[in-house]
Structure 1
Amino acid sequence: MDPTSREWSLLEPHLPPSGGRGGRWNDHRTVVNGILFRVRTGVPWRDLPERCGSWKTVYERHRRWSADGTWDRLLQAVQADADLAGRVDWGMVGVLPGPRARGRCPQGQAARPEKRTAPRHHRPDEGLGRSRGSLTSKIHLAGEGGCRPMALLITPGQWGDAPQMIEVLDGIRVPRPLVGRPRTRPDHVSGDKAYSSRRNRRYLRRRRIKHTIPEPRDQRANRRRRGSAGGRPAGFDRGRYRRRNEVERTINRLKNSRAVATRYNKRAYVVHGTVTAAAVRLWLRP
């Protein structure tokens, strides 16, 4: 479903200016409708409806906006509008590994043996890796209590979760035009036990961010074995930890977009732009 007039009025002021060489930025609304339609349905670009205009124009603009950071700026802009209206729940920001986007096999390779077609290593700009089953990408996500994404990161599917937590939280940047610098620090962060590490807890304490992360059994046993040198037990608020489902629901809302649940693009920056466009769509909804 295309954005309503109310949703378009929230998005339009933050789009790049129209005009330019060859008039390439004209008719933003038709092109944005085509991009969001493709993100939602996952259809090939050539199969976009005629009401979306030229499929090549829609694809090229999405690729350009993914490459130059336009989608990231649009996400920050709609987050800033929501924060100004008091719609951002800074008291509950959860970090979870999102869905693995399964990479599609190039045409003509599906019938060949898997070991011969899948390269052992992939280019860094592809964000593809071999995890259980096939080639996949992983979406690491920070979401707020309103079931909307705050920041995201695309990595190969076999990468661990804990090392990505700091980079995901560093990606939170909500502009505040009325009070100065953007807000980057949530009041409270929750995560599952996959994010429990000394490095992550040290980072959160240094930034004075309260956190609720359960301590795995092996880490707890190792701390007790070391005695006083192992430090104090990590605090755990069971009531706040129950709210982790809000981030899981955010992931499910993103997976409703077929181009997010299944990876159709080769370059990681286009995949990042696709997921960010789906996140912008969630922020536009009331």
Structure 2
Amino acid sequence: MAPRARLTAVLPPLPVMGRKPRDRRQVFDGIWWRARTGSPWRDVPKRYGPWETLYSVFRRWQIDGTWARVLEKLQVKADAAGHIEWEVSVDSTICRVHQHAAGARKKGTTIRAGRVRTAWRASRDHAVGRSRGGLTTKIHLAVDSSFQVLATAVTAGQRGDAPLFTELMNRIRVPRPGSGRPRTRPAHVLADRAYSSREIREYLRRRNIPHTIPEKRDQVRHRLRRGSSGGRPPAFDREKYKARHKIENRIGLLKQARGVATRYDKLAVRYEATIQLALIRQAL
């Protein structure tokens, strides 16, 4: 099926905004143009329609979860076709925050958009952190061996990787085409030394998920210093670990969208929607 037909099959009707509805593909292309280039909304070419319409659709579909549902539909079709291999690699990447993305309100708020009324509480920092390079945001990803992104999360740039591991794993949820519970358990997990902790290994053992995670050097020294009471080293397959390079490749592909590589959205929920949009476009 051609990408245009696949997109038409998963996109919902445009929201009613008092005008004659535009072509869904035209609106989607305009929203994607902004995410691909990182341009301000006001600079979107007029051939896509008024920028106010594009931003309004983007915002409403973020509030009611449309972008997440469209991405989920594509994941369901990919899993049914056997394209998801469930050997999952976990990692994160740092994205620079543009100065226009700073200064969002720190308190929670309630958003009302037409008939859709969604109350949400924004994170205290809006996933904007300060590090040596300035303002940064960190994207956490879970990617399978066929480059399918199964889960994402955004945090402030200075946040560590290990504390987000459990939440990222819990976000893996691919419904089945027919009846049955969604699949949430990977067949294998690959991660680098940043995820080498006792809590993560115990979490994976409880869920009966095999994993390949190298030990940190200080953990090796501490175990050897304790002698026989230090226990056995965790199993590590060096050849298996080489497959983890696929998540690095997938991060590079995701950052081809300049609206993702550099964050221009003030709110974390808007930035997450931009990431979902990039994943949808690349999946097509």
- TM-score, normalised to structure 2's length? 0.87
Report the CA distance between 1:28 and its aligned residue.
1.7
Q: Distance in 2 between matches of 1:65 and 1:221?
A: 51
> What is the Cα-based RMSD across aligned positions, in Å?
2.6
Helix, strand or coil for the counterpart of 1:73? helix
Equivalent residues of 1:36, 1:278 under 8 A apart: yes
1:30 aligns with 2:12: no
Q: Offset at 1:265? A: 0.8
Structure 2 gap ranges (5+)? 104-121
Give runs of aligned pairs for residues 52-63 of structure 1, distance below 5 A: 52-63=48-59
Q: Can you give the 5+ residue segments of structure 1 that lack an aligned partner in the other structure?
A: 110-116
- The match for 1:223 is 223
8 Å contact 2:100–2:264 — kept in the other structure?
no
Cα-to-partner distance string for 1:129-152 (whole Å, 9 max, x where unaligned): 101220110001111112231111
Does the CA contact (< 8 Å) of 2:196 and 2:214 recur in 1? yes
Please tell me whether residue 88 in structure 1 is matched to residue 77 in structure 2.
no
Equivalence for 2:116: none
User: Which deviates more, 272-281 or 250-259?
Assistant: 272-281
CA change 1:25–1:153 in 2 (3 A) is farther
Q: Give the direction of change, closer, same or farther, for the CA distance of 1:95–1:260 in structure 2 (3 Å limit).
A: same
CA 1:229–1:70 in structure 2 vs 1: closer, same or farther (change >3 Å)? farther
Matches of 1:64 and 1:215 in 2, distance apart? Answer: 45
Q: Which moved more, 1:39-48 or 1:17-26?
A: 17-26
- After superposition, the C-alpha distances for 1:222-254 in whole angstroms (9 at most, x for unaligned) are 223344554431111111110111000000001
Using the alignment, how far apart are the partners of 1:187 and 1:103 within structure 2?
35
Q: How does 1:1-286 map to 2 (within 5 A)?
A: 6-18=2-14, 20=16, 22=18, 27-90=23-86, 92-98=87-93, 100-106=94-100, 124=124, 126-284=126-284
**In structure 1, what is the Cα distance between the partners aligned to 2:38 and 2:128?**
19
Q: In 2, distance between residues paired with 1:43 and 1:21?
A: 24
1:53 & 1:265 partners in 2: Cα distance?
21
Alpha-carbon displacement from aligned partner over 1:15-67 (angstroms, at most 9, x marks no partner): 23456463686532111111111111111111111221111111111122222
Question: By how many angstroms is 1:279 displaced?
Answer: 1.1
Taking structure 1 as reference, are residues 75 and 228 closer, same or farther at Cα in structure 2, changes over 3 Å only? farther
Aligned with 1:260: secondary structure? helix
Could you tell me the TM-score, scaled by structure 1's length? 0.86
Taking the aligned partners of 2:165 and 2:68, their CA distance within structure 1 comes to 19
Q: Residue type matched to 1:97 in 2? A: S
Q: CA deviation at 1:124?
A: 1.6
Deviation per CA, 1:193-233: give whole Å up to 9, x if none: 00111111111111111110000111122223344554431
Q: Give me the identity figure in percent.
A: 49
